[in-house]
């Protein structure tokens, strides 16, 4: 089955000097003719929505509108639902993912986004908190550190565009490997995607992930996990995990989520000539 793109961004994307990630999202949505709905619900700053409107307008988008979804009642307002039904792209801003999930989760807004993305009629991007909520299982909050611990992370339902990944953001900058491993130790079915800042995973309809941005994406694949001590670990205990695969992907690299196979960036003409 085909669906729209899912684009989690690790936060702190360059919006001013080189907005390459947002430009790529605009291109995916159809370029200048695209209609993009911005959902700033996760943010506590009233200027967030208008700021992204300006950025998308500067990138040539004629119809970029921030939707003031501050309450669950707002998420049933026919004006905003109509805009979502006509949009080619939705962009969820950063902030607090629990504020976003408790406001939007289960409402008509969430249902429209999920349905239209599944129908290949809507592409959905989110940065920071907006990235975390895209999958079925969302990391609500957790501790920093590289070693997984039994009580290191709290999970909550996301809006469910995909069940194949668990997403974490600001990954290298905030030392979040441990909490992503902990999330996967609870149920090692999906893969973990740890997004550095100013870095995005463009997950296409075929579930192939392509990396864009200046940082890296850490892919954690627990599909061949041989042992986990999560079931016997007590509160604050470190968790043992054996045979977990890890990939570090940079700009141009890709990952086939279905086949669990990573590919390196293509060799440039200059590199080929030098070799």
State the catalytic residue, choosing from 43, 128, 135, 228. 128
Alpha-carbon distance 246 to 221, whole Å? 6
Asked if the model's pLDDT at residue 269 lies above 60, the reply is: no
Q: What is the DSSP letter of 208?
A: E
- Tell me whether residue 70 is one of the annotated catalytic residues: no
Residue 248 in contact with residue 196, Cβ under 8 Å? no
- Among residues 197, 210, 212, 254, which one is catalytic? 197
Q: How far apart are CA 48 and CA 91, in angstroms?
A: 12
Given a cut of 70, is residue 228 above it in pLDDT? yes
Question: 170 an active-site residue?
Answer: yes
H or E stretch at 274: helix 269-274
Neighbours of 61 (CB within 10 A): 24
- CATH fold, domain 6-268, is Rossmann fold (3.40.50)
Question: Does 128 participate in catalysis according to the annotation?
Answer: yes
Q: Where are the alpha helices (DSSP H) in 16-173?
A: 20-29, 48-58, 78-86, 97-104, 108-118, 129-132
Of the listed 170, 210, 228, 254, which one is catalytic? 170
pLDDT in tens, 128-179: 999 999 999 999 999 999 999 999 999 999 999 999 999 999 999 999 999 9
Chain segment 20-71, per-residue pLDDT in tens: 999 999 999 999 999 999 999 999 999 999 999 999 999 999 999 999 999 9
CB–CB of 71/60 below 8 Å? no
Task: Tell me which residue of 113, 55, 70, 110 sits closest to 89, measured CA to CA.
Answer: 113
> Do 216 and 199 touch, CB atoms closer than 8 A?
yes
């Amino acid at each position: 089955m085909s669906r729209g793109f899912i684009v989690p961004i690790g936060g702190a994307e360059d919006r001013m000097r080189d907005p390459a990630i947002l430009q790529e999202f605009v291109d995916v949505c159809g370029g200048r003719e695209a209609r993009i709905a911005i959902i700033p619900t996760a943010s506590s700053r009233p200027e967030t929505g208008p700021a992204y409107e300006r950025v998308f307008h500067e990138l040539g988008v004629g119809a970029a509108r921030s939707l003031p979804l501050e309450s669950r009642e707002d998420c049933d307002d026919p004006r905003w639902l109509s805009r979502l039904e006509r949009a080619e792209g939705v962009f969820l801003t950063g902030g607090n993912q629990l504020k976003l999930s408790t406001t939007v989760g289960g409402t008509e807004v969430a249902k429209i986004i999920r349905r239209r993305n599944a129908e290949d009629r809507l592409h959905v991007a989110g940065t920071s908190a907006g990235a975390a909520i895209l999958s079925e299982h969302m990391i609500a909050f957790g501790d920093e550190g590289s070693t997984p611990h039994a009580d290191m992370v709290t999970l909550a339902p996301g809006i469910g565009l995909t069940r194949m990944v668990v997403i974490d953001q600001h990954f290298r900058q905030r030392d979040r490997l441990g909490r992503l491993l902990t999330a996967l130790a609870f149920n090692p079915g999906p893969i973990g995607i740890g997004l550095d800042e100013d870095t995005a995973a463009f997950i296409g309809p075929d579930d192939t992930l392509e990396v864009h941005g200046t940082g890296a994406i850490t892919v954690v694949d627990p599909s061949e996990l041989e042992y986990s001590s999560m079931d016997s670990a007590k509160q604050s205990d470190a968790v043992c995990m054996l045979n977990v695969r890890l990939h570090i992907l940079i700009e141009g690299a890709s990952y086939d989520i279905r086949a669990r196979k990573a590919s390196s960036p293509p060799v440039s003409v200059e590199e080929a000539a030098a070799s």
